Amino acid sequence: MADRSPVRLGVCAWIYGDAPLDRTLARIAAAGYDGVELPGEPDRWPVAEVRHLLARHRLAALALTASCMYPATPRDLANPNPDIRRQAVRYVIDSLRFAAEIGAPLVQMLPSGETRLAPVAAREDEWRWSVDGMRLAAQEAARLGVRITVEPLNRYEAYLVTTVDDALAYLKAVDSPWVGLTFDAFHANIEEADLPAAMRRAGPTLWHVHLADTNRRGLGHGHLDLASIVNALRGIDYQGAAALEVLPPGRDPFQASGDERAARILDEYLTESMACLRAATAGGPPLYQADGPSQ
């Protein structure tokens, strides 16, 4: 354990809405984080621009966040419409290629469309369609050397995979060494009876972590037992990254407002969350790296 690589801490860039990427990365770097999780939108920015901005702000690309809002986007691996499923697979493949070009080690993908809360066809058919699509994407992941992680969302945002146990069954069905699990503390707080136990069950399949307090605000603004999360990560010798995915108070849990007032609140959350992480790891072996990414 003493020689293990430290966990990189980052922030999901999408929480700042449509703000210019340069400005968002500057805010993340100023708060002391060493990485960023970028939106999974391969056509949003030129690769050269992203690479330049990451280097400028000394931030590592930790992951891409899939955007699978359905029906706003045709990105639903479990949809009965085969054309929509094909577009979803193409989206994952395009995201994997973008990740490879900017140096991000993994892409997150949802097994079914976000905000779709029930099956349209038989659930077993939708499960099979999703697994088949993920297997196709995993072939490209293996070719590129970029991994895919499946993120369980709570029952109010998705339906097919909502718990760690659902995700483990899904990974078993996909059966690819290139597909693993993202653990999101906010979603897990709703779905899991015991968060550390769920993380231990995930074990070596846990490749990425999202952090937010129980109300999806910054750490310290809810009742998340952060120390137990840190101890669980240490206990499984976690080797991935941890990214803050927090939102200011608002009516829409799916959209970041992007206005300056919200951005200032997020700036405070980033600073406060870093302080909480330092407090939660005090007195134990180092869990994370906080001096900027290695070059």
At residue 139, does pLDDT exceed 50? yes
- Give 264-279 pLDDT, tens digit per residue: 999 999 999 999 998 8
Mean pLDDT over each residue of the chain, to the nearest integer: 92
Phi, then psi, of 147 in degrees rounded to 5? -85, 160
- Give 167-210 pLDDT, tens digit per residue: 999 999 999 999 999 999 999 999 999 999 999 999 999 999 99
pLDDT of residue 282: 72
- Give 199-215 pLDDT, tens digit per residue: 999 999 999 999 999 99
Enumerate the domain spans of the chain.
7-289
CA dihedral 235, 237, 240, 241 (to 10 degrees): 50
pLDDT of residue 200: 98
pLDDT of residue 238: 95
The angle formed by the CA atoms of residues 95, 99 and 103, to the nearest 5 degrees, is 180
Confidence band of 284 (pLDDT split at 50, 70, 90): low
pLDDT of residue 287: 64
For the chain, counts of helices (H) and of strands (E):
9, 9
- How far apart (Å, rounded) are the C-alpha atoms in residues 166 and 37? 24
- How far apart (Å, rounded) are the C-alpha atoms in residues 211 and 10? 10
pLDDT of residue 283: 62
pLDDT of residue 68: 92
CB burial readout 42-77, b (16+ within 10 A) else e? beebeeeebeebbeebebbbbbbbbbbbbeebbbbb
Residue found by looking up tokens 């493949």 in the block: 93
Confidence band of 255 (pLDDT split at 50, 70, 90): low
pLDDT of residue 60: 97
- How far apart (Å, rounded) are the C-alpha atoms in residues 191 and 62? 25
Phi, then psi, of 213 in degrees rounded to 5? -75, 180
Phi, then psi, of 69 in degrees rounded to 5? -65, 125
List the one residue out of 58, 75, 39, 37 whose CA is nearest residue 212.
Answer: 37
CB atoms within 10 A of CB 179: 24
pLDDT of residue 280: 87
pLDDT of residue 146: 98
- Give 7-57 pLDDT, tens digit per residue: 899 999 999 999 999 999 999 999 999 999 999 999 999 999 999 999 999
CATH number of 7-289: 3.20.20.150
Structure tokens at 110: 């949802």
pLDDT of residue 295: 34
At residue 250, does pLDDT exceed 90? no
- How far apart (Å, rounded) are the C-alpha atoms in residues 215 and 249? 9
pLDDT of residue 285: 60
Confidence band of 281 (pLDDT split at 50, 70, 90): confident
List the one residue out of 219, 148, 231, 235 whose CA is nearest residue 185.
Answer: 219
pLDDT of residue 294: 39
